[in-house]
Amino acid sequence: MNIVLLGAPGAGKGTQAQKLIEDYRLTHISTGDLLRQAIKAGTPLGLQAQSYMDSGNLVPDELVVGLLKERLAQSDAQHGFVLDGFPRNTAQAEILDASLAEMGYTLDAALLVDVDHEVIIKRLSNRRACKTCGYTATAEVISCPRCSGEMYQRSDDTPESITQRLAVYTEQTSPLIEYYRTQGKLKSVDGDRPVDEVYAEIKVLLGL
Ligand code: AP5
């Protein structure tokens, strides 16, 4: 199964992706994680991307698309993937459609995790991630339950950046809801419920 996760920053895309990949052995492809890895490794692409990410803006398509295509071409994507954070605008969605067709992949669904922006601001202010494996949790979690790594607060989870990310989502990413509805691929879940309740409905929607 190949799916795209849609939803505002902080809607819970990464949280639900973690559960899907653990239960169904899918490959998690997060462009945000790929960009953060590039920053950590100090690559030229990472250096270019950092200021866009910290300010809550999208990294230019020409930087992100290459990363995505490279990751999709790796062999583990053949067993099914969960795309998290890509596409972010209509141009990226069209590039994705063309790339998947070229590689012989079919997109089964675009799953929207739908959450009000007020809830999101609280969630992102309280989010922590594992420095080692990227596991996502809340500030109450002191060490990573998956690998015991150190938890940290992302540099873009500041009030200014969160506000900008939500504005960018509304303007550039939310039109993708209609894009995938037109393709007959859109499925939507109310993400403002406990994680396991959201996950249970996702499984029903995806026929898992
Ligand atoms: P990215 O890393 O993709 O971040 P994002 O879209 O802003 O999304 P998040 O990872 O912040 O949120 P999420 O929906 O995964 O929520 P999570 O599960 O963590 O992108 C970062 C930046 O990279 C972008 O701003 C951009 O600059 C750049 N970028 C990335 N991709 C790009 C692209 N394609 N093109 C251009 N630029 C790109 O959950 C959030 C919190 O809520 C956690 O603490 C979690 O524990 C909690 N939580 C989750 N679900 C629930 C629930 N049901 N109830 C209560 N709490 C919950």
Per-residue pLDDT reduced to its tens digit, 68-86: 999 999 999 999 999 999 9
8 A C-beta contact, residue 136 and residue 18: yes
Amino acid (one-letter) located at 78: Q
Residue-averaged pLDDT of the chain: 96
Per-residue pLDDT reduced to its tens digit, 152-184: 999 999 999 999 999 999 999 999 999 999 999
How many angstroms does the Cα of residue 25 sit away from the middle of ligand 1? 21
Give the total residue count for the chain.
208
How many angstroms does the Cα of residue 136 sit away from the middle of ligand 1? 9
- The strand pairing partners of 2, in sequence order, are 81
pLDDT at 164: 97
pLDDT at 62: 95
CA-68 nearest atom, ligand 1:
34
CA distance 7 to 63: 22
CA distance 58 to 45: 14
Per-residue pLDDT reduced to its tens digit, 12-21: 999 999 999 9
pLDDT at 134: 86
Amino acid (one-letter) located at 58: L
CA distance 172 to 58: 9
**37 in ligand 1 pocket by Cβ < 6 Å?**
no
Our measurement of the distance from residue 26's CA atom to the centroid of its chain's CA atoms, rounded to an integer in Å, reads 14
Q: How far is CA 17 from CA 12, 86, 168, 194, 201, in A?
A: 8, 13, 22, 15, 14
User: Tens digit of pLDDT per residue, the chain (208 long)?
Assistant: 999 999 999 999 999 999 999 999 999 999 999 999 999 999 999 999 999 999 999 999 999 999 999 999 999 999 999 999 999 999 999 999 999 999 999 999 999 999 999 999 999 999 999 999 888 999 999 999 999 999 999 999 999 999 999 999 999 999 999 999 999 999 999 999 999 999 999 999 999 9
pLDDT at 7: 98
Amino acid (one-letter) located at 42: G
- Mutation test residue for ligand 1: of 13, 15, 57, 119, the one with most atoms within 8 Å of CB: 15
Secondary structure of 184-195 as H, E, C letters: CCEEEEECCCCH
